[in-house]
Amino acid sequence: MILRKPRRPRSLKWSLVLRIAVLQGILITLLIPLLLVALVMFGAANMNDYEGGTADVIKDALSRDAGGKLILKPTRELAELRKTEKNLWYVVRDKQGNMLREGTIPPAMAPFANQLDNISDARFSWTMGKADRPAGIVAWEDDTGAGTVQILAGTDGKLSWTRMALAGWDFFLVVILPVVGVMALATLFVTPWVVRGALRGLGAAASEAGQIDIDKRGVQLPLKDVPTEVTPLVNAVNDALVRLDTGYERHRRFLTDAAHELRTPVAILNTRVASLPPTPERARVLRDAARLSTLTDQLLDLQRLGRQVERFGPLDLVEIARSVVVDLAPMAFSSGYEMAFEPMVETLPATGDRASIERAVTSLVQNAIEHGGNRGRITIGVTRPAVIEILDEGEGVPVGEREKIFQPFYRLRPHDHGAGLGLNLVQEIMQLHGGRIEVLDGRPGALFRMSFPLPPKDAPTH
């Protein structure tokens, strides 16, 4: 079987940014041809009515000679203008009094040529009303090769396609490009912010989902502020949680009923076997019946755990460990072990259910008795901050099995006498108390460490 590396989940935020950017690119790509068509149509419609054709050509050709006098450079547009406009005329002057003129000024315009000091910008027309194209214009121009100058010229020159294209390019650089830049920045920075705000409710639902545990049933993901597009997914998850809760409750009820139904036949079996004459077969049947009784008790303990949180109260870990040692010392001695109780403190307060913790410690000591090799010492220690340790001198637990042994019905050795529920019960009890159980190297043997959370500072002492 070929294992493929899982693909990284796609980011909705950046997917939207990319799609919006692509859409903007497509719109801009379509807009440019439309602008070109509009520019051509505008130029064709207004080319003959453009009044600055002569002044534009003169402005582009203006320069100064070595002495600072105004001159016109021989440009292609100037040559074309002189060729097409036989009556070309103009007057150019600067603020220093330098003047450049060409052609014969129409008599009607001659008086204005002598009054340019009193004219800033003007359009001259000899018809009443607003003329589409005046007979002459006066304008100050700053961006010329000769600096700031004033131009008085006729309006017979036409708008060239080259100049119209340059004007369109300038329009693109000054107007279109900044708009595109603002749109791109808005897409890059605003869209993630908008998406983050829109998905805030989904983040709350994800946070709630991360807290779902087997011990917290009846949990539903919140729908507040969840986007409408994601609501069906959240509803589907909530429906699945309801089905899981229902199935778990059905499973729990079945195990509880089965365990209760088994207790009576097992008790009857024990009674009848105990009345038989002592034989090796009777001893084996008694052991098997005891295993069955233990399995029944463990199943009931697992089902009762979830209802014991409300019975938590102050307790003393040293006292609980000492009680287990007293109860199981005869069994350990008869199995060939020495038993040692080594509390590092006289009392060690904690919060929890005494019966459950006592059952967990008992299971671990019984596990040490069964798997310790019937030799050496079993040591029960209690240390700060809130730890109980059970150490044997057996073969220990392989590193690769240390997680598996806490799985229900898992047995390290197939021929072990246990049902494989004892260590799972211990883990469930520790999780119920907010603690943890871990297996370490005892050197030799196995060291089971039960770590409990510290009790609140204001909790009453035992």
Q: List pLDDT tens digits, range 24-53.
A: 778 777 777 777 677 666 655 555 667 777
Q: Which two tokens stand for residue 39?
A: 């520019």
Q: Average the pLDDT over 53-57 and give the result.
A: 84
pLDDT for the residue numbered 49: 63
Q: Is the pLDDT of residue 1 over 60?
A: no
Tell me which of 67 and 282 has the higher pLDDT: 67
**pLDDT the model gives residue 424:** 80
Predicted local distance difference test score (pLDDT) of residue 18 = 75
pLDDT at 309 over 60: no
In the chain, the domains with their CATH numbers are: 12-46+165-198 (no CATH), 53-158 (no CATH), 212-307 (1.10.287.130), 310-451 (3.30.565.10)
Backbone region of residue 186 per phi and psi (left: phi > 0; alpha: psi in -120 to 50; beta: other values): alpha
In the predicted structure, residue 94 carries a pLDDT above the cut 70: yes
Nearest to 424 by CA among 414, 415, 432: 432
DSSP string, 12-31: HHHHHHHHHHHHHHHHHHHH
Residue at token pair 């119209």:
164
| Burial zone of 423 (CB within 10 Å; 0-12 exposed, 13-18 middle, 19+ buried) | buried
Helix 280-305 vs helix 422-432: crossing angle, to nearest 10: 20
pLDDT, tens only, 153-193: 888 777 666 666 676 677 777 877 787 778 777 777 777 77
The rounded distance, in Å, linking the Cα atoms of 191 and 355 is: 57
Strand-pair category, 313-316 with 349-352: antiparallel
Q: What are the helix (H) ranges across 341-402?
A: 354-371
- Has residue 242 got a pLDDT over 70? yes
The Cβ of residue 58 has, within 10 Å, a number of other Cβ atoms equal to: 26
pLDDT tens profile 319-350: 999 998 888 888 888 888 888 898 988 889 88
pLDDT digits (tens, 9 = 90+) for 5-16: 556 666 666 777
- Give the pTM: 0.46
Share of the chain above pLDDT 70, in %: 77
Q: Which amino acid is at 433?
A: H
Dist CA 435 CA 53 (whole Å): 89
Mean pLDDT of the chain: 78
Selection from 315, 417, 330 nearest residue 360 by Cα: 315
* Residue owning tokens 């079945």: 254
* Residue 319, pLDDT score: 92
Q: Does the pLDDT at position 72 exceed 80?
A: yes
Predicted local confidence at residue 214, as pLDDT: 64
Question: How do residues 383-401 score in pLDDT, each as one tens digit?
Answer: 988 899 988 888 878 777 7
For the chain, give the percent of residues with pLDDT over 90.
3
CA distance between the termini of the chain: 58
